[in-house]
Each structure stands twice: as C-alpha cells, then as structure tokens.
C-alpha cells in the first residue's frame, strides 16, 4: 500500500532554512564572495519554496537543494556569458570601423568601465565564464 505524507509549507520552509548554513558554504566555495553566496542561497531557497511540490518526502533534501543551487548558478553564468558574447561582438564591430587607434582605446575603456559597474554577482559570473573558456 502506498502512503503519501503531506508536509506543511511551514515545515518545508523550516527544513529549507535549516539547510542554509551548508548551502552557504557550498555557494561561497563556488563564488568566493560573501554577498554573492548569500544571494545565491536566497535564490535557491526561493526556488525551492516555489517548487516544493516536486520534492519527495523521505528523499535527500540537501541534495535536492544543492541541485537547485547549482542550476541557479549555471543559469546565471549562461546569462552572463551571452551578455559577454554580445558585448564582444559589439566591440569587434565597433573596433573594426574605427580608423583611429585612440578611438579603439576609448571604446575599450568605456567597456571596461561598464563591466566595473555591473553587480558583483554578474562580474563573478563573467570571471567564471572567462576561466571556463
């Protein structure tokens, strides 16, 4: 006989919250910045609460949460990588039309400034994308 156990939203949320310290440790190792790790853990818990109906009682909750966190991280890297690719295409096209090397340097300086203005989470994702190749 199959018995399904119903877990209340409050119980599930409490379980997700208890997993936060371990999730933070993993996120910090992935990102290397406290604020970015906190953001990733927060995004993971929000995603877990939104998809709580997919978690099966009795299964490994921490593994499920780490999978969500990994997917959140990879999605942010992919978004960032697409942005960098678009930026590189723009710069290449813009530099190709530049007849003056000074103009090219100014364009690269502007791009560099724009990258510095990105939130640290996006800059981290760009660094990861650069490291991966």
| pLDDT tens, residue by residue, 9-47 | 788 788 888 889 999 999 988 888 899 899 999 999 999
On the 0-12 / 13-18 / 19+ scale of CB atoms within 10 A, 37 is: buried
pLDDT in tens, 46-93: 999 888 888 887 888 889 999 999 988 888 877 776 666 666 666 666
Domain count, the chain: 1
Residue 5 pLDDT: 45
**How many residues does the structure list for the chain?**
133
pTM of the model: 0.56
d(CA 127, CA 60): 32
Q: Are 56 and 28 in contact (CB under 8 A)?
A: no
- 40's tokens: 């990733």
What pLDDT band is residue 105 in, cutting at 50, 70 and 90? confident
> Is 4 inside a domain boundary?
no
Structural domain for 119, as ranges: 9-132
> Is 79 inside a domain boundary?
yes
> Is 95 inside a domain boundary?
yes
Residue 38 pLDDT: 93
């Amino acid at each position: 006989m199959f018995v399904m156990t119903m877990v209340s939203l409050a119980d599930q949320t409490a379980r997700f919250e208890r997993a936060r310290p371990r999730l933070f440790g993993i996120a910090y190792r992935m990102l290397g910045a406290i604020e970015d790790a906190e953001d990733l853990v927060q995004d993971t818990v929000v995603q877990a609460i939104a998809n709580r109906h997919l978690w099966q009682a009795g299964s490994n909750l921490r593994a499920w949460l780490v999978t969500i966190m990994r997917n959140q991280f990879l999605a942010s890297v992919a978004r960032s990588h697409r942005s960098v690719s678009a930026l590189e295409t723009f710069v290449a096209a813009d530099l190709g039309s530049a007849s003056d090397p000074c103009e090219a340097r100014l364009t690269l300086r502007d791009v560099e400034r724009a990258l510095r203005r990105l939130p640290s989470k996006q800059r981290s994702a760009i660094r990861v994308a650069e490291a991966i190749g």
